[in-house]
Amino acid sequence: MKVSKRIVPILVDCNWGRKNKDVSSKYGVRGYPTVIFVDPRGEVVEKLKDRGASGVAKQIEDIARKYPGRKQAVSGPAKLPWVETHDAAARQAKKEGKLLLVVLTDEKKNSMVTEHALADKELKTLIDQFVLHRHVVKRDCELCKQYRVTQGINIMVVDVSADSPYTSPLQKISGKRTARSLSGKLERTLKKWKTAPKDY
């Protein structure tokens, strides 16, 4: 059952009350087998409610959502449809009538967390409305100077058809962000851009 990967199963052999009596006593075990779900501190969350496969799977999923566990460290560029160069991305954005989303990153831990948050499946429909370019922040980098970025992660939302688009982006998002935070900011920026009168 794939859902079992969402939990860490521990089998305690009580031998019908003759072994591991401290564990049985702690969790109030009265019969066997007994299945108990505990949190990372060992506190009881729930007892198994349904022994049918679908019922067990649903209960595990519900509990796992409350205790997602430690997230693995992220590394490498997020899997997104990056356009290789900034100029090519700008041309594509102009041709398709989309906003340009430029991710300038120093690839440090917090920056990678934010970058990978952009690739969250819940944001896919939103992200598809932008043309994306990823650029690694370096010293004496002309693009970084253009966007006035020196470190960290900075997500620039740019209207390439506007006057001075790169020195005056529509939105600048900096620092460690969650997918939810990014979604809210990008949705508001996109909505404002779509409803604003165009002078070009």
Express each pLDDT in 166-188 by its tens digit. 888 999 999 999 999 999 999 99
The predicted model gives 127-152 an average pLDDT of 94
Q: Is the pLDDT of residue 142 over 90?
A: yes
pTM: predicted TM-score of the whole model, two decimal places = 0.63
Task: Tokens for 100, please give them.
Answer: 């340009």
Tell me what the pLDDT averaged over the chain comes to: 88
Decide: helix, strand or coil at residue 130.
Answer: strand
List, in order of start, the domains of the chain with CATH numbers: 2-66 (no CATH), 86-195 (3.40.30.10)
CA distance 7 to 3: 8
Task: Tokens for 71, please give them.
Answer: 């997230």
CA distance 198 to 194: 9
Beta-carbon contacts of residue 134 (< 8 Å; ≥ 6 apart): 77, 78, 80, 82, 102, 103, 105, 115
CA distance 20 to 136: 56
Give the largest Cα separation in the chain, rounded. 82
- Side chain identity at residue 67, one-letter code: Y
Half-sphere CA count of 154, side-chain side, radius 13 A: 20
Q: Can you give the pLDDT at residue 1?
A: 53
Point out which residues pair with 133 in neighbouring strands.
102
Confidence of residue 18 (pLDDT cuts 50, 70, 90): confident
The H or E element containing residue 46 is strand 44-47
The H or E element containing residue 182 is helix 179-195
CB 138 within 8 Å of CB 132: no
CB 156 within 8 Å of CB 101: yes
The predicted model gives 120-145 an average pLDDT of 94
